[in-house]
Structure 1
Amino acid sequence: MGYGRADITDPGRAVTLPRVLGGKIDKRLRGSTSSRVVWPRLSRRQGMVLGGGLAGLLVIALLVWALWPEPEAEPRPREYTDATACLLTDADGVAGAGAAPVWAGMQQASRETSGQVRYLAVGGEQTVENARTFVGTLILGRCTVIVAAPGIADGAVRAVAGDHLNQQFMVVDGDAPEGPNVVLVGVGEVAATLRDRLSTQN
């Protein structure tokens, strides 16, 4: 077996390729860098079994999708109107003995009309003079109706109501004189009275 040589000392001479196996390239070397994937052939029975299995999986997937429980809808936030009833209380807030039933009646009126209710407790000195500044805060807060709980709150309303005739006031079991913008009610009348006042603002 001989191999051709290239004389690298003479640049004008061509390089002779090696003669492999008598000058012929072994056919076994052809395409040695490529590969083919041969898939196994399935018999008819195997094809039917495979197809049936795939169909069964598809049916199961459809059943799971159809029977999967839908996610619970998130509760929608309650929508309120612009009407607002504001309760003024002493330092005990809505937990006080006089304010608690008033606040309960206001909440009932809110549920029935979608009007808003909130409260403000008088801080600092528990005097009518100090409570007047808190009435002013509620007036600036654009409350539709300012409700005075029994005690210093109704005294404060009595002192300022005449200077704010465009503001509605409601005094519960108090001593404030009834006027064009002040209504006197009992505790049991809070819900019904506020329901009418808040409904007219919708």
Structure 2
Amino acid sequence: MLVGLVALAVAIVVAWIVWPNPTTAPRERQYRDVTACLLTNNRGLASRDARAAWTGMQRASVESLVQVQYLAADGVQDKSNVAAYFNTLAAQGCEMVIAVGAAPVDALIAGKDRFPSIRYVVVGGAPNAGVTIVEAGSPDEIVEGVAAAVRTLPAST
């Protein structure tokens, strides 16, 4: 009899410990239907500026739940080749395209008028109408500049 009561008490304690808590917040992040995309040269995130831009995008993503992704342009690093990668990001629905590196910036500037609803950011580069410039200063400056730009994306487009 005593063994049965002890077993019942243990079962009740174990059930109470493992019972799911309905007030626990979900573990997965619920992203908004907004995407910011990074276009890099063929080095991807290996360059200092691209890595800093990606860090800024990720930081803003955690804070604002904007989805982020990047695409490295393979092959010849000139405006005409990288334009195909830029067009891919624009056509797949990126609300913001951020370019890092000479060829990606050139491709973005050359192609931006075909996609007027997208917001454009370049790291470094000369001022251009409709393009936000993030100075290619220190990595921390790039992180903060890119994060600030991504945070400006609206809740939905």
Q: Normalization by structure 1: what TM-score?
A: 0.65
* 1:111 maps to which of 41, 62, 65: 62
Equivalent pairs counted in the alignment come to: 145
Tell me: higher relative CO, structure 1 or 2? Use CA pairs within 8 A at least 6 residues apart.
2
SS of residue matched to 2:48: coil
Is the counterpart of residue 139 in structure 1 residue 90 in structure 2? yes
Task: Give the partner amino acid of 1:60.
Answer: V
Aligned to 2:156: 201
* 1:173 maps to which of 120, 124, 146: 124
Q: CA RMSD in A?
A: 2.1
From the two aligned structures, give the one with the greater helix fraction. 2
In structure 2, C-alpha distance between the alignment counterparts of 1:179 and 1:165, rounded to whole Å:
12
CA displacement at 1:200 relative to structure 2: 4.1
SS of residue matched to 2:75: coil
Q: Is the 8 A contact 2:44 2:50 kept in 1?
A: yes
In structure 2, C-alpha distance between the alignment counterparts of 1:72 and 1:107, rounded to whole Å:
31
From the two aligned structures, give the one with the greater strand fraction. 2
CA displacement at 1:156 relative to structure 2: 0.7
Aligned to 2:75: 124
Closer/same/farther in 2, CA of residues 72 and 89 from structure 1, 3 Å limit: farther
Aligned to 1:70: 18
CA displacement at 1:111 relative to structure 2: 0.3
Uncovered stretches (5+) of structure 2, i.e. residues with no partner: 136-141
- Over 4 Å off, 4+ runs: 71-75
CA displacement at 1:151 relative to structure 2: 2.0
Q: Normalization by structure 2: what TM-score?
A: 0.83
- Aligned ranges for residues 185-200 of structure 1 at < 5 Å? 185-186=134-135, 187=142, 188-197=144-153, 199-200=154-155
Percent same amino acid among aligned pairs? 33
* 1:149 maps to which of 96, 100, 110: 100
Q: Is the 8 A contact 2:36 2:67 kept in 1?
A: yes
Larger Rg: 1
SS of residue matched to 2:71: strand
Give CA deviations for 1:37-66 in whole Å, capped at 9, x if unaligned. Answer: xxxxxxxxxxxxxxxxx2x12211122112
